[in-house]
Structure 1
Amino acid sequence: MSAQTSHAAADSASATAAGKVHQSEVDTTHRALRFLTAGSVDDGKSTLIGRLLFDSRAILADQLDTLAKRAAGQPIDLSLLTDGLEAEREQGITIDVAYRYFATKQRKFIIADAPGHEQYTRNMVTAAAGSDAAVVLVDVTKLDLDAAEVPLLPQTRRHSLLAHLLRVPSIVFAINKIDAAADPGEAFRKVGIALEKFAAAAGIRVTAVVPVSALRGDNVTQPLAADWYQGPSLLQVLESLPTVQETVEAPLAVPVQYVAREGEGTGNQPRTLWGRIAQGQVRAGDSVQILPSGVTAVVAELRRAGEVVDACLAGESAGLVLDRQVDVSRGDWIVAPGSAAPRRSVEATLAWLDTEPAVLGRKYWVRHGNRWVQARIVALHHRLDIQTLAETEAQELSVNEIGHVTVELQADLPVQPYAENRVGGAMIVVDPTSNRTSGALLVR
């Protein structure tokens, strides 16, 4: 099972064909930026990452020698730096998510190369979950530039919508292969207008639109020398983006991952409740509530990385020792008293990823935090048409479709709106027969 997921806030704004960066905040912590590349098949995602690695000198000498030998005197195929599976090299497509690392003088980066093929959309969702930014590539050579309104490819629209639903904070459109256009400036302008219109209709806040040529390296790490574009390079945009910061100023929420008991034998040895804080903060002496039981207790001691500490914040893994023995197990939640109400009926956005359609009334397993419960889809309110963005009636959801559903759970879960908490508002759906990850539920 390889999907974790999410639901979206409806941020509204527009893309810009001038390539100007829109951002309300700049990261001051210099944490590594986690970003993924997305888009349709053969849009140049792997080549773009290879170009970033090559130009930033993040490739080992033996890797370059191997690629040079494979090239046999021809230009090096930079996509091979990420397409490591034998099947990927044979077919010339990305199948699994490949992670690469590089750094500039300004910051460090963690890149996820997501597959563009519809069959592997679930892997794209995996890469998007937890990413700080998404670079959606648009291949200008695949578009009808003579049309009055340039039509975007379905996977461009789908991946952009999924990144938005998964609350990826920064979405950048990179118009690739701009060097292959007869009139690069006009091609950039027309595709930028199409992206702006789509983003505005979908409520997607676009951080930047930039022209690039991943193959030649135009405007990837160095600004483009062209009279029709005066904006930043793609790398300059990435260096300016903020990283995701977990919400500290919110009620405490900790999914319990592991319960550790000190000492040997039975008795009243203190137990440490370990988990990564999803939101809020906790201090020794704070009152907390265990869900779904509803029992309250006081935090007697806090531990982090083997040391006793006074406080822990969102994003940190913490061990809580309570002032009394309470029945707590993996899958429970530790929250601020009265801040969450477990429920069994949930409205959510469902991104369906399985070849078997989502069927009303059928039992599935869902995972929320660290707990598994059975669930049924009891209502399918509408399906989202990714071409028109209209909400249409549907009796089932097919692979890669997105819909609005009501789900009934077998047990109470303390779910929250995904727009407020990406951990408490996300559930993955698993087929009980095949054990495949079938979908992502994003609580409304």
Structure 2
Amino acid sequence: MSRSRVVVVGAGFAGFRAARTLSRTLRDEAEVVLLNPTDYFLYLPLLPQVAVGILEPRRVTVSLHDTLPRVRMVLGEARGVDLDERRVHYTDPEGTRGELAYDRLVLAVGSVNKLLPIPGVAEHAHGFRGIPEALYLRDHITRQVEMAATGTSAEVNTARRTFVVVGAGYTGTEVAAQGQLFTDDLARKQQAVGPRERPRWVLLDIADRVLPELDRRLSSTADRVLRRRGVDVRTKTSVKEATSDGVLLDDGEFIETRTVVWCVGVRPDPLVSEVGLAVERGLLLVDSKLTVPGHPEVFACGDAAAVPDLTRPGQYTPMTAQHAWRQGRVAGLNVAASLGHGEQRNYEHHDLGFAVDLGGLQAAANPLGRPLSGPLAGVMTHAYHLAAMPGNRVRVAADWMLDAVLPRQAVQLGLLSSWSVPLDTASPELARVPGTPDKEE
């Protein structure tokens, strides 16, 4: 008798955890196949530290081959799902099309940059969802500070030293906080070759406070740290238009800049709405067991699914790594149960708290509802990330220790150009290079 095949699409927090749970539960009794564009799991919360040179890219990328030894890896991007034939169609990195038959399917394709109909944003802003974007931003920031130190136009130099982050959620707040420290250090090193003008970071959000999704005490802590560090925090403010010379705000002010980092949130991967199943705000509707109604062989979790929040009746779980990680485990257990191993269970999880790394020794956290700030929160935040990472812990800790005692290397490698990391992309984990297939096509 042939073994059943379980196909997991996506290796983010939900997909990785589902594949690992399945491999440990089913072992050799079923084939577990993981379809993903890259051969690594990205620990996204530490990506801002890659953009400012604290961590090297491989530190936040965990090898799927090393951590999922019983799982068959298939490199490729899913292009569609045939529910009747039970097949997933994909394209590999060289453009060859393929398909995977499945007995059970777990859709965990994650999310991409959220777009808004604002003129010029798609052309002049860059997102922050993958390694290519973080590497590009690191090079770009370094280049702007270096060019500003030797430029002949004071107006252009000021624009190069101005960095605008749109969106004051987790990612935007951390990018602005880490970025201000990074550029201050770069500017000090350039002081010998040009006049010292402190780089300016502007953090915008249409909400009335930074970190609007968190407790007000955490929000106040982050706001206080940012302003004390010199970040220009603008709440109740949004972008009306973006150009190659800067951004026009809705209050009429024009900020000259060469850098716009788009961190307004995420949207489900476009594949979700193309499957042909019921969706809610672009998310696949599932029941409390993470099963798609009418298709007991299909499961969905993480940022791909609208999961009922049993702790808040009538609502769906938010799109956070904390929920995705735990939903992945439940999805894996329920898929195994559908194949005769154990019993299915409902997904129910109470938030354990949040941590926001503000750079240096500063952080804001509320573990188990207890608000913390300052160095204590910083230690707790670093400890949390080390505990949560499924690999590379020693290497990450070593990079942190080296960063604490050695100066960062202020170099730009020039590996990625602006057009390689477009904001409007369904594949932020991949850089566009000549001769590679384009998923949007």
TM-score (norm 2): 0.24
**TM-score normalised by structure 1 residue count:** 0.24
Q: Which one has a larger percent strand, Structure 1 or Structure 2? A: 1
Of the two structures, which has the highest relative contact order with CA contacts closer than 8 Å and spacing of 6 or more? 2
Give the helix-richer structure, 1 or 2: 2
